Structure formats: C-alpha cells, structure tokens
Amino acid sequence: MAPYYYYPGWWEGGPALQFFINTEKWNSLPKNYQALFQTAAGYANGDMLAKYDARNPGAIRRLAQAGAQLRPFPQEVVEAAYKAASDLYTEISAKNADFKKLHDSYMAFRSEEYLWWQIADYSFDTIMIRNRARG
C-alpha cells in the first residue's frame, strides 16, 4: 500500500460511465433496442455511482487505519495540473474539430452545472459537513 493518499482527484470530480456507439449502427437499431440500451446504460451509470458513493467512505477509513496518510494536493499543484490539462484541451481542439465540438459542449454543460451546484449542493454540503463536525 502507498504511504500517502492525495486528494482530491482533480482530474475526475466523480465517476461516470460513457458508451460510444457508431452513429450509423445506432440509427440502424430498432427504436425499442435504442430505448433498452439507453435504459440499461442509465441504470449501469446510476448503479456504479451509488456503489462508488457507498463504498468509498469505508475504503478511505480502511486506508487511514492501515497507516496511509491523507494529504490534500497543494493548491499550486492542483492549479498547475488544471492549467496543463486546459492547455492540452485547447491544443487538441485546434487540431481536431470533433474533439473541439465535444469539449466545447461539455464545458458549457459543466459551467451550467457548477452554477446550480454552487447554489444547491455546495451550500447544503457545507452546512452538513459543519454540523457533522459539531456532532
């Protein structure tokens, strides 16, 4: 086991399953098969996320009990990693129109989500974390 556990996993805020299907093949499927696939994919993603959230508190506790030291990445490291990733995405976007289209769409969606999370989830989680510490 590694002696240190650094957090947060800045490169991935949380888990998500992604499925890639050839558009031509997808369009050739009967509508009921498309619906079944979408339902199964949604279930798989939700199930995986639920297990991730349910199992990680115990996992981090076991790591700490086994001697791993939990340490946050220094802010400078997180900022440098974020900048390097952003620069790379910009570089790839300049060379690959498909990547740019997907990345731009994702970034717009993420921006909207963070607006909501800032108002709802972040505020709620802050209250709950403070109250947990108080007992």
What is the residue extent of each domain of the chain? Answer: 1-73, 74-135
Angstrom CA distances, 12 to 33, 100, 127, stand at 31, 19, 24
CA pair distance 102, 74, nearest whole angstrom: 30
Note the pLDDT tens digit of each residue in 97-112: 999 999 999 999 999 9
CA distance 106 to 85: 14
Cβ of 106: how many Cβ atoms within 10 Å? 11
pLDDT bucket at 54, cuts 50 / 70 / 90: very high
In this prediction, residue 14 has a pLDDT band, given cuts at 50, 70 and 90, of confident
Q: Hey, what are 13's tokens?
A: 């805020």
DSSP state of 15: -
Task: Reply yes or no on whether the pLDDT at 1 is more than 70.
Answer: no
Segment 17-41 shows an average pLDDT of: 96
